[in-house]
Amino acid sequence: MSFHSPFPDVEIPATSIYEFLFGSLTDAELELPAFIDGPSGAVTTYGELIAHINGVAGALAARGIEPGDVVALHSPNVPAFGSVFHGILRAGATATTINALYTADDIAKQLEDSNAKFLFTVSPLLPQAKAGAEQAGLAADRIVVLDGSEGYASLRDLLTELAPTPRVSIDPEEHLAVLPYSSGTTGRPKGVMLTHRNLVANVCQASDGLGGGQHRILSVLPFFHIYGMTVLLNIALRNRSTLVTMPRFDLMEFLRITSEHKCTQVFIAPPIAVALAKHPAVDQFDLSSVELVFSGAAPLDANLGQAVAQRLNCQVRQGYGMSEMSPVSHLIPVNRDDVALDSVGFTVPNMECKLVDPGTGEEIQVPESGVSEPGELWCKGPNIMRGYLGNAEATAETLVEDGYLRTGDIATVSSDGVVSIVDRLKELIKYKGYQVPPAELEALLLTHPQIADAAVIGVTDSEGEEVPKAFVVRQAESGLTEQEVIDFVAEKVSPHKKVRAVEFLEAVPKSAAGKILRKDLRAREAAS
Ligand code: AYL
C-alpha cells in the first residue's frame, strides 16, 4: 500500500535549471545581493552573478567544453561557487562537485570515474587538487584556480576573456546537470546522475515547505553536497534570497556572521545543533534575526532540536532525503507546529512512497490510525536520479520496479502521513552528515600487513554522534594496537572518514556467500 504526499502536486516547468532560476529575473532583482562572503562581507549582486555565469560558460565553450562533457568543481563555500557551478551547467556541461575535504587519492578517483575534462579549485586546496589531477592524467592547463595561483588560470582570467555564451539546447529530461558522488546503499562512491528536471523538480517540491520568500541564509553547509546545492544554493537563488557564505565551520565565526548579517534562515547538520543548544558563546551574540533553523543529512535528536528552538526563540525543522533524490523527499513544513521533531515530516509534493518489509519483501500496511510497522522506505517521483554513472548493477539494485528508489533506510509512517526514520538497513555511515563508505575503509585496512580481515560499521559515541568503528582480525602473533589502527587510517583518508574506534575480533562474521554480516556486528555493539 503506497502513500502519496498529502500535498497537492506542484507544477514543474520543463526548462533547464538556468532558465528556471534566472529566466524571469527583473531589472530590479539584478540589484539584489545574491551572495555575501561571510568572512569579508563582499557582496555579489544577482546582476554580477548572471554576468559571471555567462562568462564562465563562454570561457568553457572557448576551451572546447560542450554538452555531455563533465567539469569538476572542488571548492568550499565561496560566492564564486555559484558562478562556476551555474556556468558549467549553462555551457551544457555536467558539474561533478568534489568534497573539499578529499585527499588527492579521492579527488583522482572522482576525476577518473566521471571523466572530468576540467577542474576548478581554490588556492588553499591546490596541493591536493594538483596531485589528484596528475594522478588522473588531467593536465595542469585544465585546472582553474578561482582565486588565482602562479601558473594557473584564475576565475578573473576567464571572465576578462568575455567569450560569448554558447547557445546550447538542453533537454531537461535527458541532460545530466550534476554528478555528485554517493555510496548509496552499498560499496564505494558512485556518480549520481541527476538531470536538469531532477534539480528543477526538487526546488519546486521543497520550496513551499521552507516557507518561500526572500531570506538571508547562513550557508555553511557545503554547496558541493546535494543538501547545500539544492536546499541552500538553488532554492535561495530561485527566491532571490541572499546566501551568506562560510568556507568552513567555526562556531565563533558562525555566530558572528549570523548576527552581523542578520540571517533569517540557518541550515545545519545535527552536530551544529549541539553547539547551538549548549555552547556558552551563543549568549554573547544577538541572534534575534533567526526565524528558522533547519537540520538535515542525519537524524536530529528531538530534545536537542527543542533546546535550540527555545534558546534561539526560533522554529526548528528537519528534512530527510538522499543524493539520489536530488535530495529532499521529506520535510517538516515551516508552517506546521504540530509535527514531532523526531520525525522527518511529510512526503514532499509529486512523490509517492511505500514501506517494504526487508525480510519478506511484503508491503507494509498504512494503518487507519496510529503508526505503521517499520519497513524499508521506497520512494518515487520526478526528483529520483537516472542511475549511477557506468554502474548498471548498482543502478538495478537501487532503482527497482515501477520507478521506485530503495533508500536503504527503515521508516514508519503514521495514518496522517508523518514519516519517521527509525534505522538504517544499508552499510553507509554518516559522520557529521558526511558520507563514510565502510567498503572503502575495509579495503584500506586490508592493505595493512598485520591485518587479516576487517569490517567497519557506524556506532554511537559517548556524545551521541555516529562514528566509524573498525572490527579487526589481526594476523597471527601480531601485537597491533587499537591506536596503531586508528593512526594507519588517519594518515591516508580525509578527516571525516577516520576510524574513531577499534575492536579486535577472532573472525569477522560473514554469510555463506562471504558478505560481512553487519547486523551481527551491530547486535554485538548494542549488547556491549
Ligand atoms: P546523502 N534523518 C535520518 N537520516 C537521514 C536524514 C534525517 N533527517 N537525512 C539524511 N539521512 C541519512 O546522500 C539517510 O540514511 O544525502 C539517507 O539515506 O549524503 C542518507 O543520510 C543520505 O545521505 C534536506 C536536507 C535531505 C538534507 C538532506 C540530506 C541529503 C543527504 C533533505 O532537507
Q: DSSP for 84-117?
A: HHHHHHHTT-EEEEE-TT--HHHHHHHHHHHTEE
Q: What is the residue-wise DSSP string for 431-496?
A: ETTEEE-HHHHHHHHTTSTTEEEEEEEEEE-TTS-EEEEEEEEEPTT----HHHHHHHHHHHS-GG
| Residues 286 and 256: beta-carbon distance below 8 Å | no
CA 320 / ligand 1 centre spacing (Å): 5
The answer, yes or no, to whether any atom of ligand 1 lies below 6 A from the CB of 263, is no
DSSP code of residue 400: -
CA distance 103 to 127: 10
Per-residue pLDDT of 323-380, as tens digits, reads 999 999 999 999 999 999 999 999 999 999 999 999 999 999 999 999 999 999 999 9
In whole numbers, what is the pLDDT of the chain averaged over residues?
97
User: In this predicted structure, what is the pLDDT of residue 1?
Assistant: 81
Locate 98 and state its grid cell. 568534489
Q: Are 226 and 204 in contact (CB under 8 A)?
A: no
Beta strand spans in 99-173 (E): 116-121, 143-145, 153-154
180 CA: nearest ligand 1 atom: 13
DSSP assigned state of 229: I
Out of 78-87, 286-295, 336-345, 508-517, least confident range: 508-517
CA distances 123 to 75, 143, 154, Å, are: 9, 11, 10
Task: Tell me if residue 338 falls in helix, strand or coil.
Answer: coil
Classify the complex by whether its ipTM is higher than 0.90, answering yes or no.
Answer: yes
SS3 of 247-291: the string is CCCCHHHHHHHHHHCCCCEEEECHHHHHHHHHCHHHHHCCCCCCC
pLDDT digit string, tens, across residues 140-199:
999 999 999 999 999 999 999 999 999 999 999 999 999 999 999 999 999 999 999 999
CB of 437 sitting under 6 A from ligand 1: no
337 DSSP assignment: S
First vs last Cα of the chain: how many Å apart?
38
Q: Is 305 in the pocket of ligand 1 (CB under 6 A)?
A: no
Element (H, E) at 379: strand 375-380
Give the per-residue pLDDT at 304: 96
DSSP secondary structure letter of residue 367: P
Exposure string of 436-473, with b = 16+ CB inside 10 Å and e = fewer, is bbbbbbbebbeebeebebbbbbbbeeeeebbbbbbbbb
**pLDDT tens per residue across span 217-256:** 999 999 999 999 999 999 999 999 999 999 999 999 999 9
pLDDT at 13 over 90: yes
Q: Write down the pLDDT at residue 382.
A: 98
- Assess contact for 505 and 473: CB atoms under 8 A: yes
Ligand 1 pocket, residue 430 CB under 6 Å: yes
Query: What atom of ligand 1 comes closest to residue 294's alpha carbon?
Result: 33
Give the distance from CA 132 to its chain's centroid. Answer: 22
Which of the 8 DSSP states describes residue 348? P
Task: Collect all residues with Cβ–Cβ distance below 8 Å to 52 and sequence separation of at least 6.
Answer: 44, 80, 83, 87, 155, 159
**Average pLDDT for 292-308:** 97
Q: How far is residue 271's CA from residue 467's CA, in Å, rounded to a whole number?
A: 12
Question: Which cell goes with 515?
Answer: 558478505
pLDDT tens for 457-516 read 999 998 888 999 999 999 999 999 999 999 999 999 999 999 999 999 999 999 988 899
**What angle (nearest 5°) sits at the alpha carbon of residue 249, between those of residues 243 and 251?**
105
Q: Does the beta carbon of 344 sit less than 6 angstroms from any atom of ligand 1?
A: yes
What confidence tier does 409 reach under pLDDT thresholds 50, 70, 90? very high
Q: Report the nearest-CA residue for atom 10 of ligand 1.
A: 297
Does residue 327's CB lie within 6 angstroms of at least one atom of ligand 1? yes
pLDDT of residue 401: 87
pTM for the whole structure = 0.97
- Confidence at residue 183, expressed as pLDDT on a 0 to 100 scale: 95
**pLDDT (0 to 100) of residue 2:** 94
pLDDT band at 84 (very low <50, low <70, confident <90, very high): very high
pLDDT for residue 495: 96
Q: What one-character-per-residue DSSP string does 195-224 give?
A: EHHHHHHHHHHHHGGGT-S--EEEE-S-TT
What separation in Å is there between the alpha carbon of 133 and the centre of ligand 1?
30
Closest residue by CA, ligand 1 atom 21: 297
Residue 501 CA to residue 497 CA, distance in Å, equals 12
Q: What are phi and psi of 516, to 5 degrees?
A: -65, 130
Q: Could you tell me if 163 and 59 are in contact, meaning their C-beta atoms sit under 8 angstroms apart?
A: yes
Distance 297 CA to ligand 1 centre (A): 3
Amino acid at 340: A
Distance between CA 211 and CA 176 in Å, rounded? 28
Q: Kindly report the protein residue whose alpha carbon is nearest to atom 22 of ligand 1.
A: 322
CA 341, distance to chain mean position in Å, is 21
Q: Identify the CA nearest to 377 among candidates 333, 342, 432, 419.
A: 419
